Amino acid sequence: MKAPPERLGSFYLGAQYSLKKNQITENVVNYDARDLTTHAVCFGMTGSGKTGLCVGLLEEAALDKVPAIIIDPKGDITNLMLQFPNLQPQDFKPWINPDDARRKGKSVDEYAQFTADLWRKGLGDWGIDSTRIEALQGSADFVIFTPGSDAGIPVSLLSSLTAPKLSFDDNSEIIREQITGTVAALLELAGVDADPVRSREAILLATIFEYFWKKKQDLDLAKLISSIQKPPVRKLGVFDVDTFYPEKDRFELAMAFNSLIASPNFQSWLKGESLDIDGLLYDEKGKPRHCIFYLAHLSERERMLFVTLLLEKVLIWVRGQTGTTSLRALLYFDEVFGFMPPVAEPPSKRPLITLLKQARAFGLGCILVTQNPVDIDYKGLTNTGTWFIGKLQTERDKKRVIDGLRGVASQTGRDTKDYSDLISGLSRRVFLYHNVHENEPVVFYTRWVMSYLRGPLTRPQVRQLMVNRKVLTTKSETPGLQSSMKVKVSGVDEGEDLSRSPPTLSPSIPQVFLPLGVSENEAKQSLTQKFGPNVSVESVQLRYRPAIFGSGTVRFLDRKRSIDEQTEKSFVIEDLERTSFVDWKAAKESPLKHNDLLNTKDQVSGKDAFFDLAPEFANSPKEFKKLSKDLNDFLYYNSALKLKKNRDLDVIQLPEESDRDFQIRLLQRSREKRDVEVDKLRGKYAKKLDKLDDKFSKLEFDLADDEAEYKARKREELVGAGESVLSIFMGSRRTSRATTIARRRRMTSKAKREIAETKEDIVRVKKDASKLEAELKKAVDQIVEKYEKGAEDLSVEEFKPKRTDVKINFVALAWRPYWIVNYKEKGLLQRTVIEA
């Protein structure tokens, strides 16, 4: 079979299948990616081929550069990592199951050769070559995450306790839903048998979360345990805390969480990647990522905890997106059994059903997979627009599917009476495809997947697979001692004039004290690190030197572009004793803000510190006024906001938007404009093709009439010929008979000509239709190419502030701290200055 041409937004799933003839047809099944925004479910017993179908669907999503969050409780979807463009036996050998080889009566090497040949032939039969596998590898990054284990990339549970970035006042309902889910998951993990909403345990924990998250303060388990023992609030409802939940009982809850955190097995949950959905879906360069969360090694409670926390994070991410009709990302859940049951209410059920109801408006497509339809709550089934139904094990399963289809079909006015026979006739790799966006259901045979389906991977195999891929998706570094301070050695004059307190200056001249970033002990440690352990520190003295600190706010306003960005810029001019002219061009930019330096005099009170003398100009208000004006000029002439822009898509980078996020938004905008333009073009051609189709139908009808006319004329001619022969023997008039025969022959010839002309017209209409379809394909390809190239066409637009949009916060005399360290090295007394 010839594979269909690559087309963005179209997933190649297989080919239509004839149940009557039990054979594959030549009609390719392409699935519109946008239909996944109304979600999908896939049913099928073991051996039905649903893993192959779903892996193939995920491959197509990756080729379309659609990122995915993949929940893999059994480990089947890890096969998505086994992609071998060369299809050589040595590629397959490390992943061959020896038991499979033994059952086939082959050695591992022989079975590897057999598998390579099988995959090469299987892909070839479906028109897939190594080029497409290479394109798959290059389109997305495939990563396995292993919460609770370091076999793949570990996941930190603590990240789920961090305060959301959303404003609590504006999104209180959303955040409270996340708190409810997080609390329910924590109680489940700790083995606390309590109602996740109404119990006093849940109410106390939810109150603690809300207290800290309102203040934008993160939580960890140690802080949570401490807060359980000593809650940060005095009342729960109208009762005080001790009445509502006595201290003795709270101690038992704290002990349950303490036992959890003290467990050696739980330590692996405390380190790893954070559940930052935006950071998971794309890497730092904006390349889409398929994140496979491998859960086969976890207990049921641990799975429930992690899945709930992950779904809550996805839900928060979804609500932070803008609306779209194009597919933005996928949430794939393999074997959803137990996570959204029809009767029970596990913690994972609420966020999952909420996603099915709300995520479609934001471009997130959910795909749920299970063996039995009875595993899924009816509310979930009726919120999915696409059903992939494979071979089912029991009549009960079939009845459940048909009942569900009736519920979906009733909303579209379709008849489901034939579905029972269709579902009964399904076999391995044959699926019934029901889509609310299509007119009729389709039975199809799944294509051969590009990934090697060897079965679930074990943890050692995951470790082997990920050994060279363990790259953090989000980097967080804690600066060490050497990165937090700079050490320089210089001589210090003995006769310098120093003061025990800051100099007294005019009240109109502000003085600020830059914060102390390095402690005395850290200063000593830095000396030891630089010169070795044999250095003997004799004394350490804190000293402040004068500098000029200036802070201004620059606003970049462009109402036409909806840009209103305000930024504070701060500068420090050092070494005032070496210059008589203060120039802001020589200043160093400072991360400090002017609010950081208000009332900083209290920070040095009581410290044993010395102060250098202030420069002469420091007591002149006029000089500081000039410095303020100079800083205003400096900011006005040297400030610019540079933003990337795509003119074709009319998308400009937001001031706080990273290059990665901008690239993702460009990709989404390109998809949306591409889809709109392609739909418009197809609608235009559809009218022309419909006219040709009507003409073709009319010609077929005319041809049938012509052929009937021809047969009738032929019969008349034969009858007339017989009568003529008979008249010879009976003595009838020959002349009239001859005339009649000739006329009938002419009529027959005319009918024959009309058949030929009608057939020519049919051929002409078919050619016209083929020509139109070719024109349509070419035009669609040009649109796709235009938007692919257009998304890469970036320019930089520079925005300058207006004079009135530059404001000076203040210009002040700043005191910079240093440590003066006297030490002995090899018996010699030396001195060094360390910036503090």
Residue 483: pLDDT over 80: no
Please check the confidence at residue 494 and state whether its pLDDT lies above 60.
Answer: no
- What pLDDT, in 10s, does the model give residues 642-671? 999 988 888 898 888 888 888 888 889 888
What's the length of the chain? 836
Mean pLDDT of 169-180: 88
Q: Which residue has the higher pLDDT, 732 or 675?
A: 675
In this prediction, residue 507 has a pLDDT band, given cuts at 50, 70 and 90, of: low
Q: Are 118 and 104 in contact (CB under 8 A)?
A: no
- Reported as a single tens digit per residue, the pLDDT across 188-235 is 888 888 887 789 999 999 999 999 999 888 888 878 887 898 899 989
Residues 221, 261: Cα–Cα separation, whole Å: 7
Kindly give the pairing relationship between strand 511-513 and strand 23-32.
Answer: unpaired
H-run or E-run covering 405: helix 395-412
3 state DSSP class of 68: strand
Separation between Cα atoms, residue 83 and residue 135, nearest integer Å: 11
Q: Which long-range contacts (CB under 8 A, 24 or more apart) does 671-675 make?
A: 671/8, 671/9, 671/326, 671/327, 671/787, 672/324, 672/325, 672/326, 673/649, 673/787, 674/8, 674/9, 674/783, 674/784, 674/787, 675/9, 675/34, 675/325, 675/326
In this predicted structure, the answer to whether residue 489 has a pLDDT above a threshold of 60 is: no
Three-class secondary structure of residue 99 per DSSP: helix
Q: Which two tokens stand for residue 801?
A: 């502030």
Residue of 538, 517, 791 lying closest to 667 (CA atoms): 791
- Residue whose pair of structure tokens reads 């017989």 in the numeric block: 722
CB-based contacts of 48: which residues, under 8 Å, 6+ apart? 390, 391, 392, 426, 428, 429
pLDDT tens profile 49-86: 999 999 999 999 999 999 999 999 999 999 999 999 99
pLDDT at position 492 over 70: no
Q: Which of 502, 485, 806 is nearest to 630 (CA)?
A: 806
**Residues in CB range of 120: below 8 A, 6 or more apart:** 87
- Structure token digits, residue 760: 């020519």
Q: What is the DSSP string of 517-579?
A: -S-HHHHHHHHHHHH-TT-EEEEEEEEEEEEEEEEEEEEEEEGGGTEEEEEEEEEEE--GGG-
Q: Say which range, 160-174, 196-210, 558-572, 808-822, has the weakest mean pLDDT.
A: 160-174
pLDDT tens digits for 331-371?
Answer: 999 999 999 999 888 989 999 999 999 999 999 999 999 99
| Sequential DSSP letters for 598-645 | TTGGGGTTT--EEEEPPPGGGG-HHHHHHHHHHHHHHHHHH--EEEEE
- Work out the average pLDDT over 451-461: 95
CATH class for the domain made up of 1-155+272-469? alpha beta
User: What pTM was computed for the model?
Assistant: 0.70
Give the single-character DSSP code of 70. E
What's the confidence (pLDDT) of residue 580?
Answer: 56
pLDDT of residue 459: 95
pLDDT band at residue 443 under the 50/70/90 scheme: very high
Whether residue 413 is predicted with pLDDT greater than 70 in this model: the reply is: no
d(CA 169, CA 175): 10
Q: What is the percent of the chain where pLDDT is above 90?
A: 47
Q: Which residue has the tokens 């020959």?
A: 734
More confidently predicted of 257 and 447: 447
pLDDT band at 474 (very low <50, low <70, confident <90, very high): very low
Gap between the Cα atoms of 31 and 24, Å rounded: 18
- For residue 480, pLDDT over 50 is answered with no
Q: Who's near 797: CB < 8 A, 6+ residues apart? A: 642, 643, 644, 645, 652
Distances (CA, A) of 18 to 22, 57, 417, 634: 5, 22, 19, 77
The fraction of the chain above a pLDDT of 70, given in percent, is 90
Q: How confident is the model at residue 145 (pLDDT cuts 50, 70, 90)?
A: very high
Cα–Cα distance for residue pair 705/748, rounded to 1 Å:
14
| CA atoms within a 13 Å half-sphere pointing along the CA-CB vector of 314 | 34
pLDDT digits 0-9 by tens, 740-789: 677 777 888 887 888 888 889 889 989 998 999 899 899 988 888 888 77
Closest Cα to residue 453, out of 697, 118, 15, 770?
118
pLDDT band at 470, cuts 50/70/90?
low
Alpha-carbon span 176 to 190, nearest angstrom: 21
Which of the four pLDDT bands, split at 50, 70 and 90, describes residue 410? Answer: low
Q: Is the pLDDT of residue 277 over 90?
A: yes
Chain Cα centroid distance, residue 579: 54
Helix, strand or coil for residue 450? coil
Average pLDDT, the chain: 86
3-class DSSP assignment, residue 345: coil
First-to-last C-alpha distance (Å) of the chain: 73
What's the confidence (pLDDT) of residue 477? 34
Q: Is the pLDDT of residue 116 over 60?
A: yes
Q: What is the pLDDT of residue 106?
A: 94
Write out pLDDT tens, residues 22-48. Answer: 999 999 999 999 999 999 999 999 999
- In the chain, where are the structural domains located? 1-155+272-469, 165-271, 481-640+801-835, 659-795
Report how far residue 427's alpha carbon sits from residue 415's, in angstroms, rounded to the nearest whole number. Answer: 23
pLDDT(701) > 80: yes
Distance CA 688, CA 407 (A): 36
| The pLDDT of residue 18 | 95
The 3-state DSSP class for residue 748 equals: helix
Rounded CA-CA distance 448/61 in Å is 16
pLDDT category, 722, cuts 50, 70, 90? low
